[in-house]
Amino acid sequence: KSVEERLSYFLRFFVENSNSRKINLPLSREEIASIVGARPETVIRILSSWKHKGLISVKAKSVTVLSPATLFQ
């Protein structure tokens, strides 16, 4: 799987377990990168890309999934 797919699965896990599109991630970008098996720069780039496409909103350690159908397909 690509890094985008792994990161999407990671976010989906939190969304499904919280029953909310807004999730508070208690992890740094570096920790998330380690979990999904990627470099921190890659995770940051993908999150930024998703943000610019309107798929997510990011504020500090809070991520809101704006388009789950697109992000989790």
Banded pLDDT at 63 (limits 50, 70, 90): very high
pLDDT of 60 over the 90 cut: no
Please state, in angstroms and rounded to a whole number, the distance separating the CA atoms of residues 13 and 32.
Answer: 13
Provide the mean pLDDT of the chain.
Answer: 93
Number of CB atoms found within 10 A of residue 59's CB: 8
Q: Which residues contact 24 (CB under 8 A, 6 or more apart)?
A: 61, 62
The helix or strand, by DSSP H or E, that contains position 10, with its residue range, turns out to be: helix 3-18
pLDDT at 38 over 90: yes
Q: Is the pLDDT of residue 22 over 90?
A: yes
pTM reported for the whole predicted model: 0.89
* 32-41: average pLDDT: 96
